[in-house]
Amino acid sequence: MTTPRRRLVVIGAGAAGTMAAIFAAAGGAETVLLERTKDAGRKILVSGGGRCNVLPMQLDETRFVTDSSVNTLRRIVRSWPLAEQRAFFENELGIPLVDEPESLKTFPASHRARDVRDGLLALAVRNGVTLRMETQVRDVVPVDQSWRIDLHDGESITADAVILACGGLSVPNTGSDGAGLDITRALGHTMHETYPALTPLLDQSGAFASLSGVSLTVTLTARAGARTATATGGFLFTHRGYSGPSVLDISHVFTRRGEAGAAPGRLLVKWTALDDAQWESALKPQGPQGARTVLATLREELPDRLAMVLMRIATVEPMRTLAELRRDERLRLIETLVRGVLPWSGDEGYQKAEVTGGGVSLADIDPRTMESRRHPGLYLCGELLDAFGPIGGYNFLWAWATGRAAGSGAASQR
């Protein structure tokens, strides 16, 4: 007598959900993939400026952020090593990848995000997945040993297992509405407070208002209460504040500052690679160098407009020569260059956030299979979970790894 195939429903056809469906179907399960939008994978399409930063070139596990167990997070990340993920895209999907050494990012060789999205959906279909677009889930209900998925149009679907991959709250115009978070919360899971992560910061002080469009590489250090983060990378002045990888990577320190009585937080910037001693040497008159202006010295390391603003902040006359520069002025300028205070007044929130911080506690899932410890037959993956990484392909790596584990785990359970 033939054993009936295990019936699975995957909710959400983003990065994690599509990967989950691919591996669930490959594991022999009858798999249905539900997606609320008409085309699926919208975050894939907009990622990397439309190029899709598929993976990081190198992986540093310590750069992931979670309020759950770090050991559990690392077990999940290691379940599908970076080299194996890369091989999957190149060999299974047939999408050649290229590295961008200056940013440590990996992209499809075509530099077309659509190739990644279309390739994943095509493989899902080849594996036997049934795709249902423009299908919105209202509720997920455990019924005896199975699950009932209630849709907004009144239809209900019964399944042996459900994989939730509905995303979080970031970039809502891609279809992320927090429904998955609501469902997992209603089912009694432990939830860490959610917050926008990898989002630009705002500044209403006007101190750098004239620099919109200026970009450079900096090191930022953010502190708020016990939380701290440091990031080196691209930095961009915008007409509303600051953006760029370095800003996005430290923003979570401030976006979850809402604890009662918490200090507003402090943001320091090291504008160049030079440290105190190197600037001390560069700004000291040495022979004919003494006739050089301070501005000319700063221009060797900084964009002109920024150099002018920083000298004004340090109250140093731009045309003063190195020989004329007083010791107190030099120390004040070095402090501004190495540990400058960057004013900020808020953040761009979920609208511009790359990912959602917080979510379902990793303690509530089996890290081998992504199965809920509270509800057998329910699997969670992707942005729903309490973990995110920095800019540079880390969050796709998390989506691919958790999606694969959930799909394989759900298909193999009996």
- The DSSP call for residue 164 is E
Question: Is it the case that residue 290 has pLDDT exceeding 90?
Answer: no
| pLDDT tens digits, 189-207 | 999 999 999 999 999 999 9
Confidence class of residue 84 from pLDDT cuts 50, 70 and 90? Answer: very high
pLDDT of residue 247: 98
Fold adopted by 200-347: Helicase, Ruva Protein; domain 3 (1.10.8)
pLDDT of residue 128: 98
Strand (E) or helix (H) holding 243: strand 241-243
**What pTM value is reported for the model?**
0.94
- The DSSP call for residue 170 is S
- Rounded Cα distance between 45 and 35, Å, is 15
- Rounded Cα distance between 306 and 214, Å, is 8
Of 353, 358, 355, nearest to 385 by C-alpha is 358
Q: Which stretches of 8-112 are DSSP H helices?
A: 15-26, 42-46, 70-78, 82-87
Q: Residue 350 corresponds to which tokens in the numbers above?
A: 């979920």
C-alpha of 406 from chain center: 20
Overall average pLDDT of the 375-396 stretch: 97
Neighbours of 99 (CB within 10 A): 15
pLDDT of residue 173: 73
| pLDDT tens digits, 16-56 | 999 999 999 999 999 999 999 999 999 999 999 999 999 99
User: Rg of the chain's alpha carbons, rounded to an integer?
Assistant: 25
CATH code 3.50.50.60 region(s) in the chain = 7-196+355-412
* One-character DSSP codes across 196-219: EES--EE--S-TTGGGTT-EEEEE
What is the pLDDT of the chain when averaged over all its residues? 94
- The DSSP call for residue 289 is G
CATH code 1.10.8.50 region(s) in the chain = 200-347
- The DSSP call for residue 269 is E
Neighbours of 155 (CB within 10 A): 10
Question: Is it the case that residue 261 has pLDDT exceeding 50?
Answer: no
C-alpha of 187 from chain center: 26
pLDDT of residue 263: 56
pLDDT of residue 177: 80
Overall average pLDDT of the 156-165 stretch: 97
- Positive or negative, the CA dihedral 109, 114, 117, 118 is negative
Architecture of domain 7-196+355-412: 3-Layer(bba) Sandwich (3.50)
Confidence class of residue 257 from pLDDT cuts 50, 70 and 90? Answer: low
